Amino acid sequence: MIVLKNCRLVRELTEDYANQYADILIEGKYIKAIKEVGSHFDAACAEIDVCGKTVIPGLFDLHAHIDCRSQDANKMQTKDAGTILFEAYEFGREYLRQGYTTVRDCGSRFNAAIALRDAINRGIVDGPRMIASGLIVTPTERGNDTFKALYAEADGPEETQKACRKEFQKGADFIKIMGTGAFYNEGGVPGETIASFEELAMAVNVAKMKNSYVAAHCHGVEGIKLAIRAGVRTVEHASFIDEQGISLLKGNENCFMVPTMAIDMVTVDDPSLIPDHMWDKVDTLTEATRICTKNAYQAGLKLGWGSDIDFESLKNHPGYEFVARKRLLGFDNIEMLLQATKYSAEIVLLQDQLGTVKAGKYADLIVVDGNPDEDVDVMQKDLCHVIKEGKIVY
């Protein structure tokens, strides 16, 4: 057993304990008890005095691509499966180092995320808790060749049904489907709807049979609303969501928006990394994305926490999604912390196990040097400790 002593807690991220400071008892994989500072615990425990530093739940990233090493699509195309898997392992370790104890992969080549998930679950390697989608199901579309090995092409409901079943057969936890065009695909038009209602609904039906759900890549206005009506669980990006789309999500406990703003920061901080074919899209659409996402936030939508970021950008810019949502959108500190923990746990249906500091939940905890509820910039600093399922991993 482990006791974290003199922990500073954030009220909004803590359940069944009212004081700001506490000692936390960890037994095995779980939080056993949260008690007043100085409490006596009967069992022999290893003690870690965090000296008043802030303890919050482990973070979520609901939109990762664990096989994405850099912004260079050409290099991604030429790598073999072995190289990709080892690089995915390194990416997972970096996520864990930055406090992300749960990562949802929204598409990776050669089953990299599924293989990494299984290796982590078997204890072969350390890494975050992985939720994996396998290949991305997509209609035949311009730009698919940009990331050819990432897609399973399917046209019409029957082919979509088959493709989704194949991904579940290979071990996918959920289905990722393309509802609109993509920024990064050469020739892709982000606002253009590419999947029909029938294709989206078929993916949802297959997922329901597996007690799972669908995440739909959607930038465009109509594609977003189509996906919501078809019954997807998450709308990824939702870049150009309008008032009607926001209205469809307002109070909706079955469908949620997962913005991905860290990827936008690359255009600001490292513009030389952006492929030439993307700049027309970036120049004309980025500001609209920020306005629409801010509108969704101000309307009170429960937003998930995604980044869509590559390994090199994450490593070079710790806490990048916090930076992006603060700098580009002006989000409130507490609201961002809720999005990165409690809300994201609820969105992926893990709220009974994760997302808050609560006795009985997994001991997924991070110790932050500073008060992120007051100054979220401290999330850019190295963490003092990262604990996943009761094990101190950093």
Domains of the chain in sequence order: 2-57+355-392 (2.30.40.10), 59-347 (3.20.20.140)
Per cent of the chain over pLDDT 90 is: 85
Residues 371-391 have pLDDT tens digits of 999 999 999 999 999 999 999
Is-contact 343 303, C-beta < 8 A? yes
Radius of gyration of the chain (CA): 20
The reported pLDDT for the residue numbered 207 is: 98
Residue 329 has pLDDT above 90, yes or no: yes
What pLDDT score does 41 carry? 84
Model pLDDT for residues 77-96, shown as the tens digit of each residue: 789 999 999 999 999 999 99
The model's pLDDT over 61-72, given as tens digits with 9 standing for 90+, comes to 999 999 999 887
State the amino acid at position 117 in one-letter form.
R
The band of 317, judged by pLDDT with boundaries at 50, 70 and 90, is very high
| Cα–Cα distance for residue pair 62/220, rounded to 1 Å | 20
Q: What is the tens place of the pLDDT at every residue in 235-275?
A: 999 999 999 999 999 999 999 999 999 998 888 888 887 77
The gap from C-alpha 289 to its chain's centroid, in whole angstroms, comes to: 18
pTM for the structure as a whole: 0.96
Question: CB–CB of 67/88 below 8 Å?
Answer: yes
Highest mean predicted confidence (pLDDT) among 20-24, 43-47, 283-287? 20-24
Residue 27: count other Cβ atoms within 10 Å of its Cβ: 15
Ramachandran area for residue 6 (φ above 0: left; ψ -120 to 50: alpha; else beta):
left
Average pLDDT of the segment spanning 232-236? 98
The pLDDT value given to residue 186:
78
Q: How far is CA 9 from CA 41, 174, 323, in A?
A: 19, 33, 22
Nearest to 388 by CA among 62, 57, 122: 57
Torsion sign, CA atoms 218, 177, 204, 348:
negative
In single-letter form, the type of residue at position 181 comes to G
Count the helix, strand and coil residues of the chain and give each as a percent rounded to the nearest 5: 40, 20, 40
Residue 187 confidence (pLDDT)? 78
Q: How would residue 180 be classed by pLDDT, with cut points 50, 70 and 90?
A: very high
How far apart CA 182 and CA 149 sit, in angstroms, is 16
**Residue 103 half-sphere exposure, CB side, CA atoms within 13 Å?**
32
* Reduced 3-state DSSP string for 178-201: ECECCCCCCCCCCCCECCCHHHHH
